[in-house]
Homo-oligomer: A and B are copies of this chain.
Amino acid sequence: MSFVDMLLRAEARHRSRLCVGLDPDPARLPGRWRGRVEHLYDFCAAIVDATADLVCAYKPQIAYFAAHGAEAQLERLMAHIRVVAPEVPIILDAKRGDIGSTAEQYAKEAFERYGADAVTLSPFMGFDSVEPYLRYPGKGVFLLCRTSNPGGDDLQAQRLADVPGQPRLYEHIAALAQGPWNRHGQMGLVVGATYPQEIERVRAIAPTVPLLIPGVGAQGGDAATTVRAGWRGDAAGHTTGPVIVNSSRAILYASTGDDFATAARAEAERTRAALWV
């Protein structure tokens, strides 16, 4: 089953647009696990166990494992999600961006070693830095498009002089993802939740691709506004592509005590409800 089919089924079955980001910071682990790198897996697995019926996707962030030499724990976590939530697609947040044979190695890392269903990528090096990932049938690729950090403006908001209409760089990327780069419907976009009007703009340019929207929860974006900006249905039943809204810290660290998993579930339920507009 393709990534998009998995995503749509998980969304419908769990009535959820919530993606839980698995970004385990050793310094923020609960109780007696605090600061202990060997418990990254235990922590994330407990979060998965507590939220598996509430999400449309999981998004592990590879940096939190790589910084501590904990790749084996990430491998175990991927396998655990497959057992506990076999119907939920996994987006590996890696933001890779390289070319040719190196991109092939990173694609192998994401899809073969870790078995992810989709991966986040940077579009900076152009189409041939994305194409090696598209050779994996059914796998999804989320291109960075508009990020909500303060520095996101530095390059992404620049208007392009020689493209008709002088779109901003992020609008140009959205058009590439909807059109020429979107072989076999594998393409998605990452769009930050801080500016709903920018999500609307991306959705207008790229009506059918999945949007992955971080920035709700700890980063402050409003849930319902975010979804309404990224998703539209009409009376005839036509809808835009799916919207996946990521929350990481607000759920992972809902409690710092032994009740962290219960608190994470409660926070995930609240966020899921707020997103189901």
Contact = CB atoms under 8 A, between A and B. Distances in A.
Given A97-B95, A147-B99, A161-B159, A67 B113 contact: yes
Interface stretch (A104-112, A233-241, A257-265): A104-112
Interface stretch (A47-55, A117-125, A193-201, A224-232): A117-125
Contacts of A126: 147, 149-156
Nearest to A106: B63
A109 B67 contact: yes
A100 interface: yes
Contact of A71 (B69, B129, B144, B162): B69
Nearest to A125: B147
A106 B153 CA distance: 22
A64 interface: yes
Nearest to A162: B159
Contacts of A61: 102, 105
Given A96-B95, A124-B97, A105 B63 contact: yes
Interface string A134-178: 000000000010010111111110111111001001001100100
A175 to B, nearest CB: 12
A59 B99 CA distance: 16
Copies of this chain, whole number: 2
A87 interface: no
Contacts of A123: 124, 154-155
A222 interface: no
A128 interface: yes
A102 B176 contact: no
A164 B29 CA distance: 48
A147 B124 CA distance: 9
A76 to B, nearest CB: 12
B152 A125 contact: yes
A68 interface: yes
Nearest to A28: B101
Interface in A172-212: 172-173, 176
A158 B160 contact: yes
Given A127-B154, A160-B159, A149 B99 contact: yes
